[in-house]
Amino acid sequence: MSDTEQDIVELIRVGESLTDEFKSCTNSLPDRDLVAAVSSCACRDP
């Protein structure tokens, strides 16, 4: 398992926090919408 995969597994193990929040979706998003959502979260202030 790569470092990135281990980081993700650890985030899931620890659960939500003030800086990490998990979301679910009952219907799938088109790739374009998913990329837009992820990139908007990545552009937030630290």
Question: pLDDT class for 42, splitting at 50, 70, 90?
Answer: low
Contact indicator for 20, 11 with CB cutoff of 8 Å: yes
> Is the pLDDT assigned to residue 29 strictly greater than 90?
no
pTM (predicted TM-score): 0.47
Structure confidence at residue 25 (pLDDT): 74
CA distances for 15 relative to 5, 6, 28, 40, angstroms: 15, 14, 23, 22
Structure confidence at residue 36 (pLDDT): 83
pLDDT tens digits, one per residue of 1-25: 778 889 989 999 999 999 888 888 7
